[in-house]
Amino acid sequence: MGGPVPLCSGAPAPGNLIPGTGVRHTQFPPPRQSGSLTGPVCRIKCVKKPAACHHRLESQSLVFTHGYSLFLTVSSDLCSNVATRLDRLPVAMGGRRRGEHDENYCFVSPVVKYLLFLFNLIFWVISLVMVAIGVYARMMKHAEAALRCLSVDPAVMLLVVGVLMFILTFCGCVGSLRENICLLQTFCICLTVIFLLQLVAGVLGFVFADKARNRVTVMINDAIVHYREDIDLQNLIDFGQKEFGCCGGVTYSDWSQNMYFSCEPDNPSRERCSVPFSCCVLNKDENVINTMCGQGMQEMEYTEAGNHIHVNGCIDKLVDWIHSNLFLLGGVALGLAIPQLVGILLSQILISQIKDQIELQNYNLKHSSDPWR
């Protein structure tokens, strides 16, 4: 198909759609409303973007508008020029079946609509799971003293994040199904704010790395103090020390802060001046783990203790692990960012389509008495 069809040349079939444009054209005698118009008349019916189409053509002061039909009393050459200009008008997303009436034309793409709904439905289910886990953990855990070493109770954090995600995804689900601009804008704005906050947090963590390191050191030392007060906290510390091959926060002597492992002379504990067995250097030939392998290790010199336990602290090991796994952490951050960006993009596309659909419906309602439609 080699370009737009001239609007006034020959005798095109009534209602013929010009390829590549949103324009129907017909040649016929001027309507009664046209007044003193003389000469060949071309009727242009704007199907896609009627308001934009009319504004573009009326600016030439060469048309008579009735409804969303335009009547030109110009030569065939200028009609072809008009068709070329219309060909450059932006075409909104959305399908139109051949033979469908103009008033049934829909800008809202079902693909975008239900893709956004499915996207929100998945994260809505995830939010329910997070809330359920948070409630269960909060009801089952009573070790308040042990949890004070953490900045935020993990159960409470799960509850807060789950509830916020539930509300946000609910707005997205209902807004996409009902084509509600208010709910979709709420969803889009909140998602944008969350994304920006995460971005700012990442930048601040990088800029103030030393302060973040000091904060982590304080948290680990508090966890050491409450080591025996909560079995889950104890298992977490043991897992970290065995996984990273470390002992304590800065060095193995940090375990003296715990009342059971303290080297104070009046400490009656059988674990006095010891370290947990998770600090021990395990022999692969041993089938049974010696849980007393850390007995009295704090009384030994650094080099001597190093033959039996890991003497380096976990903070340095953690920093080394982060530096050696930057690509992995970047991938995790990207994996968290992509769904948010997809949600923002889909919601913005759907909002734009809904606004175009509302504009078309208002236009059809305003010109519903057009006899030439």
Please give the pLDDT value at position 98: 35
Q: Record the pTM.
A: 0.64
pLDDT digits (tens, 9 = 90+) for 318-337: 888 888 888 888 898 889 89
Q: What is the mean pLDDT of residues 107-126?
A: 93
Mean pLDDT, residues 1-26 taken together: 41
E strands within 166-206? Answer: none
* pLDDT for 95 beyond 80: no
Contact between 294 and 261 under an 8 Å Cβ cutoff? The reply is no
d(CA 48, CA 19): 13
**% of the chain exceeding 90 in pLDDT:** 27
The answer to whether 351 and 185 have CB atoms below 8 angstroms apart is yes
Q: What are phi and psi of 292, to 5 degrees?
A: -105, 15
CA distances from 62 to 40, 81, 87 (A): 13, 13, 18
Average pLDDT, the chain: 74
169, pLDDT greater than 90: yes
For residue 239, pLDDT over 60 is answered with yes
Q: Which residue has the tokens 């017909």?
A: 26
- Is the torsion defined by CA of 135, 140, 144, 148 positive or negative? negative
pLDDT given for residue 149 in this prediction: 58
pLDDT exceeds 90 at position 162: yes
Of residues 81 and 331, the one with the higher pLDDT is 331
Domain parsing of the chain, residue ranges: 16-91, 115-251+312-373
- Between residues 74 and 256, the one the model is more confident about: 256
- DSSP E strands in 187-284: the ranges are none
pLDDT over 70 at 23, yes or no: no
Position 173, amino acid? C
- Compute how many other C-beta atoms are within 10 angstroms of the C-beta atom of residue 105: 19
What integer pLDDT is reported at residue 196 of this predicted model? 94
d(CA 147, CA 141): 9
- 196, containing H or E segment: helix 181-207
User: Which of the four pLDDT bands, split at 50, 70 and 90, describes residue 127?
Assistant: very high
In this predicted structure, the answer to whether residue 52 has a pLDDT above a threshold of 90 is: no
How much is the CA Rg of the chain, to the nearest whole Å?
36
Checking if the pLDDT of 346 tops 50, the result is yes
Q: Which of 28-37, 126-135, 224-233 has the lowest mean pLDDT?
A: 28-37
pLDDT category at 152 given cuts 50, 70, 90 is: low
pLDDT at 103: 53
Spell out a b/e string for 37-56, using b for 16 or more CB atoms within 10 Å of the CB, else e.
eeebbbbbbbbbbbebbbeb
Element (H, E) at 69: strand 69-72
Quote the CA–CA distance of 178 and 189 in Å, as a whole number: 18
Question: What kind and span of H or E run contains 157?
Answer: helix 154-178
Q: CA 47 to CA 25: how far, in whole Å?
A: 11
What confidence tens digit (pLDDT) does each residue in 263-299 have? 888 888 888 899 998 999 887 776 667 778 888 888 8
pLDDT tens, residue by residue, 138-151: 787 655 555 555 66
Q: Which residue has the higher pLDDT, 348 or 17?
A: 348
Q: Are strands 42-46 and 63-66 parallel, antiparallel or unpaired?
A: unpaired
The arithmetic mean of pLDDT across residues 300-323, rounded, is: 88
State the Cα–Cα distance between residues 150 and 84, nearest whole angstrom.
67
The separation between CA 57 and the C-alpha centre of its own chain, rounded to angstroms, equals 41
pLDDT surpasses 90 at 104: no
Cα–Cα distance for residue pair 317/140, rounded to 1 Å = 32
CA dihedral 5, 11, 17, 23 (to 10 degrees): 70
pLDDT at site 134: 87
**What contacts 280, CB < 8 A, 6 or more positions away?**
290, 293, 294, 308, 309, 310
180-214 pLDDT, tens digit per residue, is 999 999 999 999 999 999 999 888 888 888 888 88
Residue 107: pLDDT over 60:
yes
Cα–Cα distance for residue pair 264/259, rounded to 1 Å: 9
CA distances in angstroms from 303 to 97, 187, 239, listed in the order given: 81, 58, 24
Strand partners, 288: none
